[in-house]
Amino acid sequence: MQTQIDPTPIPIEDEYLFGWNPTPGIVSVWAHRDGRALIWRRVNGTVVRSAEHYIPWLLATSLQDVKYLGDALQPHDEHASHKVVLRYRKLNGPASSYKYLLYARESRLLEKTILEGAGHRLRRPLNMINELGDAYYRVGPVEQYLMSSGKVYFRGMTYQDLHRLQFDLETTALDPHRGRIFLVAIRDNHGFERVLEAATPEEEAHLIYELCALIRERDPDVIENHNLFGFDLPFLEHRATVHRVPLEIGRTGGPMVMESYQETLAVGPEARKRKRFSVVGRELIDTMDAVRRHDFVVRDIPSYGLKEVAKYFRIASPQRVYIEGSDIFETYQKNPNLVRRYAMDDVTEVDGLSQRLLGAPFALAGMAPRRYERLASAGPAMGILEPILVRSYLRRDAAPPYQAAQQSAEDGLHEGGAVHLFASGIAEQVVKADVASLYPSLMRTFRIGPSCDRLGIFLNILGRLTDLRLEHKEMALQNKRHSIESNHHAATQAAMKILINAAYGYMGAGKMALFADGKAAGEVTRRGRAILNSILDALRQRGMALIEADTDGVYFAVPRGWSAAQEKELVNSIASELPAGIRLEYEGRYRAMLSHEVKNYALLTYDNRLLVHGVALRSSRAEPFGDRFLRKALHCAMVGDVVGVRNLYLETVSDLRNRRLPASELATRVKLSKKPETYMEARNSHQEPAYEALLGAGRTHWEVGERVRFYRTRKGYVWLPDETEEAPIVTDWREQADGKVAPQTKTSLVTYQDIANRRDYDVEHYVQVLRNSYAARLSKAFSKEAFEQLFRAEQQPSLFDVDPPIESIEPLWIRHN
């Protein structure tokens, strides 16, 4: 039974935000370019499919390319004749806008007709609408369907109503060229759990077939996993191709084959090409996208890996099985049950992550005219806000602005937010205060919106979102914690926050954004800098020790012994001096902070957790021993335990010198970018450790993109394989004493574990690495002399014996004047 939340019709003023068509329960849409659309709706617990038609359309700045059609081009309300190829609707708007909505019964026909006309005009053949620059504005078929119908996903549904299935592959290697699937864990939120296995390579094809059959049988609306697009689907696709097993996991009624196409996901740190997979009738969700989006705001997640993230969100079970990635297949051979549990724990955590993080995209899908799976990973500015704005303009028969003709987007090259580093070193009793939604607050308070938005919809939506968000936040608190209602409101407010925070970035997005306005964006940052400066002045006047400030927030140290209440009172008193509509908030307090550089610092919480921000304080080389050293040393330094830092350093050096650390602790990992041929050509002039390590191990073939782990010895580099080869039995034909040849079986000589435990590394090299790349990150915590003394490689006293005793060394404290 579905829970109906807010069954009331959509108020007129909210049509911009939520669309206007009340159709409930849409869980998936698949639209073809020929005008066919398949809609799946969840009605009282069952899924119904309907086949519909929509009219493919796009927006044009002029009719010049289609004028040649003559009578075959008609305004929308005239001549019902079969000779009409294209119709258009003239939208209200100034000369420079997308004044014409062109449509035809088929998308390809629409585009071909335009391309032909443009080809005549430009006197060259054209193949794609993209070649015509931004004279035309197009969206995908599903977006066309949703924008013109005013429908959205999930109307009247809550997150619990979705049928979600998680599956996770366990493989013998990370690279599908070098390994295979040996196990799949599957579960769904209706209580289903299953583990499929392929003990031998021959069973892999059947395993894939079974997985597909199970998905069809369970028939979920959504398929989820962590790094689904980055690992499971590409791996599955590759193995399915090898075995020629069709990947039929879509909903019956559409083509059941997984489709894939290239896309550039330029969302935050994901700005690179990756393959996008899509399935008819189901939504594919990668929980890592949600983690990334969450971290964009909080910037607090140490790693995006599933296990780390599950711990971070406290959804990891205490009984959870942990197995090192490279040990999984070997463990499976010895103790398959353990790996079964491990894999099931993985999918269970993915479900937990989904419940925790996917509510917001779910709520976004109830607003923006795009598929749920796209909204889960789309950039909120171009990917979500803009479709909402365009839909709103079309609803009003208004032409969206055409930027290329206007200068305003480009000439607004402006300064961004202010970034200050006031002090480096170690501070105690640190407070973080920041302005809640600084930029959107400024936009709303001072009515700064894109000048090209004639209808004022941008600011209208921003205002509506801000008000509604507060209401949902309030409702989330009023309802019982973790109740369906509370979760629904919490997710909705989170979705609105995403949109609100996108508003500023969208205005500054440059000329590709339809509603961009660089000047307005510049005005926002200018006012933002002024607000930040007044906050900093107020803190200085009150004698606080400023550490660093960035756009809308500041870290500072308060006098020793202050209580949290005193800190809050200080922040509130400063907040009360700011303009109405600008809210300065007390965000948190920390026992200590190491300030290294702008945006690079470590925090120690009062419950002794270490939070590290910025890559300057993280290890880029990622030798495990160095990483561990750095975390411990940071902790010691931040509590003023200088002797502890020194001892830790001496211990680590001694561990290296006495070869107490296994090679795996010292290995780095790099991704190969050269093909074997390419490297062999350049090898004489320029050698690279990763390739030399492979060649040294007798490997002459590799794929670009393979990750190679290796460590350094005095003789060269040693490859540390990340996986155990399958079929470890080799048959060795030996000539025996009597001259006969007989087969001799033996197990393979080395497993990766043997190599990982070797100790033949170049000790002096790693002592250098410890000092130069790890200890160096503590340089800002001490004076130059103290640093030299602390990290002197040898224990010998200095020549002249003038060093002060270690016990007397203090870190560089950031203190009040």
Partner DNA sequence: GCTCTGTGGTG
Partner DNA sequence: GATGACACAGAGC
Give the binding range for DNA (CB under 7 A) out of 239-247, 452-460, 501-509, 574-582: 501-509
Q: Please, which residues have CB within 8 angstroms of residue 30's CB and are 6 or more apart in sequence? A: 37, 38, 142, 254, 280, 281
Give the binding range for DNA (CB under 7 A) out of 145-153, 162-170, 452-460, 566-574: 162-170
The Cα 88–Cα 86 span in angstroms is: 7
Tokens at 706, concatenated: 């393979």
Q: Please state the closest distance from residue 171 (CB atom) to DNA, in A.
A: 5
Q: Which is nearer to DNA, 15 or 688 (CB)?
A: 688
- Restricting to residues 672-711, name those near DNA by CB under 7 A: 673, 686, 688, 705, 707
**Is residue 300 part of the contact set for DNA (CB under 7 A)?**
no
- Restricting to residues 725-784, name those near DNA by CB under 7 A: none
Q: Which spans in 658-727 are helix H?
A: 676-682, 689-696
Rounded to whole angstroms, what are the CA distances from 665 to 48, 162, 377, 656, 717? Answer: 55, 44, 35, 10, 15
Give the binding range for DNA (CB under 7 A) out of 398-406, 508-516, 742-750, 792-800: 508-516
Residues 428-467: x where in contact with DNA by CB under 7 A, - otherwise, as a string: ----------------------------------------
Give the binding range for DNA (CB under 7 A) out of 18-26, 41-49, 192-200, 323-331: 323-331
Q: Which is nearer to DNA, 304 or 761 (CB)?
A: 304
**Is residue 201 part of the contact set for DNA (CB under 7 A)?**
no
The Cα 616–Cα 597 span in angstroms is: 8
**Is residue 719 part of the contact set for DNA (CB under 7 A)?**
no
Amino acid at 171: T
Q: Please, which residues have CB within 8 angstroms of residue 155's CB and are 6 or more apart in sequence? A: 22, 23, 24, 25, 26, 366
Place of tokens 């290329």: 404
Strand, helix or coil at 624? helix
- Restricting to residues 97-126, name those near DNA by CB under 7 A: 107
Q: Please state the closest distance from residue 134 (CB atom) to DNA, in A.
A: 8
Judged by CB under 7 A, the residue of 169, 198, 207, 636 near DNA is: 169
**Is residue 296 part of the contact set for DNA (CB under 7 A)?**
yes
Number of shown-chain residues binding DNA (CB under 7 A): 77
- Restricting to residues 226-245, name those near DNA by CB under 7 A: 226-227, 230-231
The Cα 496–Cα 384 span in angstroms is: 11
Q: Which is nearer to DNA, 305 or 640 (CB)?
A: 305
Q: Please, which residues have CB within 8 angstroms of residue 402's CB and are 6 or more apart in sequence? A: 61, 96, 97, 98, 134, 514
Q: Please state the closest distance from residue 454 (CB atom) to DNA, in A.
A: 22
**Is residue 142 part of the contact set for DNA (CB under 7 A)?**
yes
Nearest residue to 498 via CA among 372, 665, 360, 632: 360
- Restricting to residues 242-261, name those near DNA by CB under 7 A: 259, 261
Strand, helix or coil at 38? strand
Q: Please state the closest distance from residue 147 (CB atom) to DNA, in A.
A: 14
Half-sphere exposure of 334 (CA within 13 A, CB side): 6
DSSP one-letter code for 258 = P
Q: Which is nearer to DNA, 168 or 351 (CB)?
A: 168
- Restricting to residues 776-815, name those near DNA by CB under 7 A: none
The Cα 305–Cα 227 span in angstroms is: 9
Q: Please state the closest distance from residue 562 (CB atom) to DNA, in A.
A: 30
Tokens at 759, concatenated: 């100790």
The strand pair at 164-171 and 222-225 is best described as parallel
Q: Which is nearer to DNA, 97 or 326 (CB)?
A: 326
Q: Please state the closest distance from residue 598 (CB atom) to DNA, in A.
A: 7
For 427-454, b/e burial (b = at least 16 CB within 10 A) is bbbbbbbbbebbbbbbbbeeebbbebbb
Q: Are 303 and 622 in contact (CB under 8 A)?
A: no
Place of tokens 């560089």: 812
Q: Please state the closest distance from residue 592 (CB atom) to DNA, in A.
A: 20
- Restricting to residues 303-322, name those near DNA by CB under 7 A: 303-307
Q: Which is nearer to DNA, 92 or 252 (CB)?
A: 252
Q: Which is nearer to DNA, 590 or 679 (CB)?
A: 679
- Restricting to residues 359-378, name those near DNA by CB under 7 A: 371, 374, 378
Q: Are 730 and 205 in contact (CB under 8 A)?
A: no
Residues 259-278: x where in contact with DNA by CB under 7 A, - otherwise, as a string: x-x-xxxxxxxxxx-----x
Which DSSP string do the residues of 281-346 spell out, in sequence order? TBEEEEHHHHHHHHHHHH---S--SHHHHHHHTT---TT-----GGGHHHHHHH-HHHHHHHHHHH
**Is residue 173 part of the contact set for DNA (CB under 7 A)?**
yes
Q: Which is nearer to DNA, 116 or 308 (CB)?
A: 308
Tokens at 42, concatenated: 């969840």
Q: Please state the closest distance from residue 113 (CB atom) to DNA, in A.
A: 15
**Is residue 148 part of the contact set for DNA (CB under 7 A)?**
no
- Restricting to residues 631-650, name those near DNA by CB under 7 A: none
Q: Please state the closest distance from residue 274 (CB atom) to DNA, in A.
A: 8
Q: Which is nearer to DNA, 44 or 262 (CB)?
A: 262
Q: Please state the closest distance from residue 801 (CB atom) to DNA, in A.
A: 36
Q: Are 356 and 373 in contact (CB under 8 A)?
A: no
- Restricting to residues 25-44, name those near DNA by CB under 7 A: 30, 33
Q: Which is nearer to DNA, 299 or 759 (CB)?
A: 299
**Is residue 664 part of the contact set for DNA (CB under 7 A)?**
no
Judged by CB under 7 A, the residue of 364, 502, 584, 604 near DNA is: 502
> How far separated are the first and last CA of the chain, in Å rounded?
65
Q: Which is nearer to DNA, 268 or 797 (CB)?
A: 268
Q: Please state the closest distance from residue 482 (CB atom) to DNA, in A.
A: 25
Q: Please state the closest distance from residue 421 (CB atom) to DNA, in A.
A: 12
Q: Which is nearer to DNA, 378 or 770 (CB)?
A: 378
Tokens at 35, concatenated: 């005008």
- Restricting to residues 562-621, name those near DNA by CB under 7 A: 599-600, 614-616, 620-621
Q: Please state the closest distance from residue 774 (CB atom) to DNA, in A.
A: 12
Judged by CB under 7 A, the residue of 93, 150, 156, 379 near DNA is: 379
Give the binding range for DNA (CB under 7 A) out of 136-144, 637-645, 655-663, 760-768: 136-144
The Cα 526–Cα 466 span in angstroms is: 22
Q: Please state the closest distance from residue 789 (CB atom) to DNA, in A.
A: 25
**Is residue 171 part of the contact set for DNA (CB under 7 A)?**
yes
The dihedral built from the CA positions of residue 373, 379, 383 and 386, taken in this order, carries a sign that is positive
Question: For the purposes of burial, counting CB atoms within 10 Å of the CB of 219, is it exposed (0-12), middle (13-18) or buried (19 or more)?
Answer: middle
Which DSSP string do the residues of 405-466 spell out, in sequence order? T-STTTTT------EEE---EEEEEEEEEEETTHHHHHHHHTT---TT-TT-HHHHHHHHHH
The strand pair at 259-265 and 181-188 is best described as unpaired
Tokens at 545, concatenated: 């020790």
Q: Which is nearer to DNA, 428 or 523 (CB)?
A: 523
Q: Please state the closest distance from residue 269 (CB atom) to DNA, in A.
A: 3
**Is residue 383 part of the contact set for DNA (CB under 7 A)?**
yes
Q: Please state the closest distance from residue 265 (CB atom) to DNA, in A.
A: 6
Question: For the purposes of burial, counting CB atoms within 10 Å of the CB of 626, is it exposed (0-12), middle (13-18) or buried (19 or more)?
Answer: buried
Q: Please state the closest distance from residue 346 (CB atom) to DNA, in A.
A: 5
Q: Which is nearer to DNA, 188 or 623 (CB)?
A: 623
**Is residue 382 part of the contact set for DNA (CB under 7 A)?**
yes
